[in-house]
Amino acid sequence: MNIGLLGFGVVGRGVYEITTSRDDMQVKKVLCLEDINLPDAESVKDIKCIVEDPSIDTVVEAMGGLHPAYEFVRAAIEAGKNVVTSNKALVCTFYDELLPLAKEKGVSFRSTAAVGGGIGWLSELERSRRVQKILEVGGIMNGTCNYILDNMTRFGLDYAEVLKQAQKLGYAEANPSTDVDGIDTWHKVILSSNIAFGVTVDKQSVPVAGIRNIQAQDVENFKAHGLVCKLISTGKRNGEGYSIYVHPTLVKEGDLEAAVPMNYNLITFVGETSDRMSFYGQGAGRYPTAYNVVQDLVDVLEGKGFYAPYGEKVSADNSVELTWYVRGNWTGAVAENWGEAVVTKAVSVSDMHAWIKENPDAFVAAIR
Amino acid sequence: MNIGLLGFGVVGRGVYEITTSRDDMQVKKVLCLEDINLPDAESVKDIKCIVEDPSIDTVVEAMGGLHPAYEFVRAAIEAGKNVVTSNKALVCTFYDELLPLAKEKGVSFRSTAAVGGGIGWLSELERSRRVQKILEVGGIMNGTCNYILDNMTRFGLDYAEVLKQAQKLGYAEANPSTDVDGIDTWHKVILSSNIAFGVTVDKQSVPVAGIRNIQAQDVENFKAHGLVCKLISTGKRNGEGYSIYVHPTLVKEGDLEAAVPMNYNLITFVGETSDRMSFYGQGAGRYPTAYNVVQDLVDVLEGKGFYAPYGEKVSADNSVELTWYVRGNWTGAVAENWGEAVVTKAVSVSDMHAWIKENPDAFVAAIR
């Protein structure tokens, strides 16, 4: 296998390093803005040098971002090359377009590292689908949020303080919005649902709320009630439809999710025969992510295409009712008062997310 | 695929049920002592009806026990049939013999359900080995022990009481020795180590201690120190060798292992690039176990053989030193007194297991 590698940052360099020790694949060219000097790969600055090179059969996209990653990946598929990417935003945003195109062109398209970093999550979903109906997917899919929430819980620190610390340590970006507002998790649960259920979820029908407004007083409140806050995604069958959403969720101390430390992920599926299966590991980082990119490359060598058929478009039905912790100007029905916050009576996911949009300064968490 | 199914108990019936809805495989004959009446499979009482039937290409062993399961599986392989089994004692005990024989005969041999029940553990080890060196395997591999320890911890009950309850609920057998003395876990960590490291571990070199002697007062002691007791197996690289052992282990409250409830399993590998990956799920039960048997059958259809090459024989080197909780007549060096028990200074795994053999009434747990 001859690889054209797009990007030579954290993940790209990891992929290059792992492949150098393998006989079955070789990075031939690296697309990179800077000049790099590698013993056995050519550094190029124009994508054409890769997509127009007939000796390259597979493109690894490790640039991140939507543009020009999308244009480059599209050009690679058009040119008949297999694509492996760790870019969840890309795969999720252009799912409708890239999946059918890859099928039409008869090339492999894989993105295991896009959800769960080093966890073999999407590949295990693919395996699981061979034998059973999957009923539910979801979990802790964002290491930055978990790092922030875990440190707030452990040390009683405030959000801003922990975020600053996370930025210093490289666990959060200078502009943390994609992580803390739940966008990253949103991409991941949509992609996971598409694969688990064999559908194409209308992204706009999936509501998301992040952790930006959480305060130390909320965490104290949770502790007093034996609860721990995590950003948890859910995608599950609901009759003939699907409930799919992302929001902070309060789990019991002692639950498996509550024990997930630092920037780790814990992702779960529930299957008709296997019951609950959860997967814990490094959701990001150079080598774990590169590990799964190389796993994908081996799967491409074995002739694997995508994880599931491209399926019918569906909108999420979030009429399912939950009870919620709300700190803000909640005027709906209240079950309990917890200091400055309340626990609501049952409110549907769609109604609560509509309320959150109108009350952007409130902090809201579902109670599991 | 035409299947001969040996045994029609908990797992066998589950396999039969799942396969009836599939087009790619069919149970043709069931070996069973009782007369059973199935619409599309013949019930037979003589193994020859299966191994001498040329239309049957694959044998599923779901009888349990060593004999006659071993003789039947051996006959099936000799007759050129693929074998899928969930029988950890069988695979572990006759590893030296069955693995080379399956290779010689060119048939598939798979046993994913043998470790972790419904968890895709051995198949994920196989996948992981494609890309990285595995450094360590192990974890909570026995649901019966976890059920007992979890209930003792949650409710402060004594061992005998919880064991009785577990037996009533079907989580423990009438003679619980295989589970509570760690034998089941011992088989599973040896098989996992064989596959992870590509070796054949000398079983007698792997020491095992179980949970039979634990008392409510021990659990109280652990709680007072923020610790939780679990039966944990370990197989890890140690220089050029391997440390492999099974014993009760004290983990911190809040650790992922501490949060494993009821009869669930949590099994972990550490890889050179992936870092730590843990897998949580139902370690037993009709449908989870049958689920992985059917996964193996799909893998056989895809041409997969065993998980790893049959490798060189190795003996475990358990010179690694740990500190231990001991309630018994410990006369070695003591670091701390915990009521009637002590915490030892560093003692090697092999020395401590030798001491346990001479003090069969003591309760000993490693402190992680």
Q: Coil, strand, or helix at residue A58? A: strand
CA distance A367 to A251: 7
B278 and A280 in contact by Cβ < 8 A? yes
Name the band, by pLDDT with cuts 50, 70 and 90, for residue B235.
Answer: very high
Claim to verify: residue A91 and residue A194 sit in the same structural domain: no
Claim to verify: residue A18 and residue A149 sit in the same structural domain: no
B275 and A288 in contact by Cβ < 8 A? yes
pLDDT for residue B102: 98
Claim to verify: residue B14 and residue B162 sit in the same structural domain: no
H/E stretch holding A252 reads strand A241-252
Claim to verify: residue B150 and residue B19 sit in the same structural domain: no
Claim to verify: residue B202 and residue B271 sit in the same structural domain: yes
**Residue A175 belongs to some domain of the structure:** yes
Nearest Cα to Cα of residue B65 among B89, B100, B37, B38: B89
B288 and A294 in contact by Cβ < 8 A? no
A15 touches B: beta carbon within 8 Å: no
**Per-residue pLDDT averaged across B166-182, rounded?**
95
**Where does A129-168 show beta strands of DSSP type E?**
134-140
**Per-residue pLDDT averaged across B251-276, rounded?**
97
Which of B21, B267, B277, B295 to mutate: most A Cβ within 10 Å?
A: B277
Q: Coil, strand, or helix at residue B366? A: strand
Claim to verify: residue B161 and residue B101 sit in the same structural domain: no
CA distance A159 to B197: 44
**Per-residue pLDDT averaged across B144-164, rounded?**
97
**Using one digit for the tens of pLDDT, what is the confidence trace for B22-80?**
999 999 999 999 989 999 999 999 999 999 999 999 999 999 999 999 999 999 999 99
- Pick the last residue of a domain from B110, B144, B162: B110
**Residue A299 belongs to some domain of the structure:** no
A256 and B281 in contact by Cβ < 8 A? no
**Per-residue pLDDT averaged across A22-45, rounded?**
96
Cis previous bond, A68, omega within 30: yes
Which of A132, A268, A275, A295 to mutate: most B Cβ within 10 Å?
A: A275
Name the band, by pLDDT with cuts 50, 70 and 90, for residue A45.
Answer: very high
CA distance B131 to B111: 21
- Type of residue at A219: V
pLDDT for residue B30: 98
Tokens matching residue B23: 């087009």
**Residue A315 belongs to some domain of the structure:** yes
Claim to verify: residue B78 and residue B187 sit in the same structural domain: no
pLDDT for residue A164: 97
ipTM: 0.96
**Residue A321 belongs to some domain of the structure:** yes
In the sheet with A42-44, reading across from the earlier edge strand, the strands are A42-44, A26-31, A2-6, A58-61, A82-85, A109-110
B228 touches A: beta carbon within 8 Å: no
pLDDT for residue A287: 97
Give the active site residues of B: 188
pLDDT for residue B289: 97
Chain A environment of B271 (Cβ under 8 Å): 291
**Using one digit for the tens of pLDDT, what is the confidence trace for A313-328?**
999 999 999 999 999 9
Q: B346: domain CATH number?
A: 3.30.360.10
**Per-residue pLDDT averaged across A114-124, rounded?**
97
Claim to verify: residue A100 and residue A146 sit in the same structural domain: no
A279 touches B: beta carbon within 8 Å: yes
**Residue B79 belongs to some domain of the structure:** yes
**Residue B160 belongs to some domain of the structure:** yes
For chain B, the average pLDDT equals: 97
Name the band, by pLDDT with cuts 50, 70 and 90, for residue A105.
Answer: very high
Split into its structural domains, chain A has a count of 2
**Per-residue pLDDT averaged across B233-244, rounded?**
97
**Residue B299 belongs to some domain of the structure:** no
Claim to verify: residue B229 and residue B101 sit in the same structural domain: no
Residue with tokens 């399956």: B102
Percent share of chain A, pLDDT over 70: 100
Claim to verify: residue B23 and residue B93 sit in the same structural domain: yes
Q: Which domain holds residue B357?
A: 132-279+309-367
pLDDT for residue B266: 98
Claim to verify: residue B172 and residue B250 sit in the same structural domain: yes
B279 touches A: beta carbon within 8 Å: yes
- Pick the last residue of a domain from B60, B80, B110: B110
pLDDT for residue B29: 98
For chain A, the average pLDDT equals: 97
- Pick the last residue of a domain from B59, B79, B110: B110
Helices and strands, counts by H and E, chain A: 13, 18
Name the band, by pLDDT with cuts 50, 70 and 90, for residue B176.
Answer: very high
**Residue A287 belongs to some domain of the structure:** no
Claim to verify: residue A15 and residue A143 sit in the same structural domain: no
**Using one digit for the tens of pLDDT, what is the confidence trace for A202-225?**
999 999 999 999 999 999 999 999
Q: B44: domain CATH number?
A: 3.40.50.720
CA distance B49 to A252: 54
